[in-house]
Chain A
């Protein structure tokens, strides 16, 4: 009987030892690193597991828990100085650097993570959805309205609408814009949407090429923008005919409605001024990004807005006027991206109406020659001016 009791006792003891050995390992032992994180912490963080950060918060750099000086992962003999790092993070530290440059003395930037989270979160999401919405809207509009046809009978005669230099300026800008838009979208959405599809190895050359194209084709866009402005600004000044055109919806919504217009109707003038203003804005922010830290734009702009009282008018407090060089670059990137999304949305509609949306529209910028009946229906006042000029030499 006693042997049985001894046997039971021994097995229970052995079992409890075994249980102790097989149980979860004891809490991550950070004594060897003097309270700093261990390899287990790093691996857990990489796997996306939650770790208890309490060891950091309570690690106040005291001598007692500091690691030996010769230990690689330990603090410097317990001499970690949270006040110094706090000052560096919030820009109040006294820093001297051996290399001169506007950003050289910034080691940490507090608002950097907020910018990154906004860029890959709300900015990308909202912009992406906006473009998808525009594409869907155009598709539905095409289904509902169809192609806007030339109502009357075609004459078979053509009128010169745009000369070669006008078409060149337009296509220089337009072709560049398409390249810039595509490469810009690759740059913004690459990490989130393209790498998961094609992997890092394939995306790397695509990203490098996109960056080269985006940085260098921008100059062609700016040249085209200036050309377009110089050529067409006078004919895009609003006049009283634009009010009539807008009142009749431009004839877009109902067949057989043809409000008169000169060389450019009100819709085209809206496109022109949007492209000029937003194009200039995107060019300036783009130049700021192309030459980092050399063209700060926002501190001065915010100061002007504060002076005009605009933030207060919309219920906001004054905008910050002390910005680190990195904040300037981050704001430039955000502004550049927002303007890009707006421009792409507008140009998608422009491409629609100039191609599938309207019969005879593409000829204007394709060959430069348009069917006379098309001109009669869509730009009657302009056609009258052309006819008057033709008759003048005869008289």
Chain B
């Protein structure tokens, strides 16, 4: 039971690192963009 629990944390850290590496940060990051309105 505890092995599975520890594994789930390993998977969590691995997923976080992997997604970050691939450019998909799951934490918020600021982005800037400008919006222009045309009539």
A contact set with B: CB distance below 8 Å = 84, 88, 93-99, 101, 104-105, 107, 167-172, 174-176, 179, 211-213, 215-217, 219-221, 223-224, 290-291, 365-366
A104 with B35: CB separation less than 8 A: yes
A to B CB contacts below 8 Å, 10 in the list? A88-B37, A95-B38, A98-B33, A99-B32, A168-B3, A168-B7, A169-B4, A172-B8, A179-B8, A219-B11
B34 with A98: CB separation less than 8 A: yes
Task: Report the Cα distance A97→B12, complex, angstroms.
Answer: 36
Contact of A105 among B3, B7, B35 (CB under 8 A): B35
Interface SS, B side: mixed
Task: Report the Cα distance A212→B26, complex, angstroms.
Answer: 8
Tell me the smallest distance from the CB of A214 to a CB of chain B, in Å.
10
Contact of A219 among B12, B32, B35, B36 (CB under 8 A): B12
B26 with A167: CB separation less than 8 A: no
CB closest chain-A residue, reference B10: A220
B38 with A176: CB separation less than 8 A: no
Task: Report the Cα distance A39→B3, complex, angstroms.
Answer: 59
Set of chain A residues within 8 Å of B1, measured between Cβ atoms: 167, 171, 175, 365-366
Inter-chain CB contacts under 8 Å: number: 83
A98 with B36: CB separation less than 8 A: yes
Set of chain B residues within 8 Å of A220, measured between Cβ atoms: 7-9, 11-12
Task: Report the Cα distance A99→B16, complex, angstroms.
Answer: 26
**A172-B8, A220-B8, A220-B11 known; A95-B16 Cβ under 8 A:** no
Tell me the smallest distance from the CB of B33 to a CB of chain A, in Å.
3
Task: Report the Cα distance A98→B31, complex, angstroms.
Answer: 13
**A219-B11, A220-B11 known; A107-B4 Cβ under 8 A:** no
Set of chain A residues within 8 Å of B38, measured between Cβ atoms: 94-96
* Size class of the contact patch on chain B: 20 to 34
CB closest chain-B residue, reference A178: B5
B contact set with A: CB distance below 8 Å = 1, 3-5, 7-9, 11-13, 15-16, 24, 26-27, 31-39
Set of chain A residues within 8 Å of B36, measured between Cβ atoms: 95-98
Tell me the smallest distance from the CB of A213 to a CB of chain B, in Å.
7
Contact of A290 among B11, B26, B32 (CB under 8 A): B26
Tell me the smallest distance from the CB of B20 to a CB of chain A, in Å.
10
A213 with B12: CB separation less than 8 A: yes
| Most A Cβ at <10 Å: residue of B5, B13, B16, B38 | B5
Task: Report the Cα distance A172→B3, complex, angstroms.
Answer: 9
B35 with A176: CB separation less than 8 A: no
Tell me the smallest distance from the CB of A332 to a CB of chain B, in Å.
16
Set of chain B residues within 8 Å of A213, measured between Cβ atoms: 12
A95 with B37: CB separation less than 8 A: yes
Task: Report the Cα distance A387→B11, complex, angstroms.
Answer: 39
Contact of A107 among B9, B16, B31, B35 (CB under 8 A): B35
CB closest chain-B residue, reference A179: B8
CB closest chain-A residue, reference B7: A172
Contact of A176 among B8, B31, B33 (CB under 8 A): B8
Set of chain A residues within 8 Å of B32, measured between Cβ atoms: 99
Set of chain B residues within 8 Å of A167, measured between Cβ atoms: 1, 4
CB closest chain-B residue, reference A365: B1
**A175-B5, A220-B11 known; A95-B26 Cβ under 8 A:** no
Set of chain B residues within 8 Å of A95, measured between Cβ atoms: 35-38
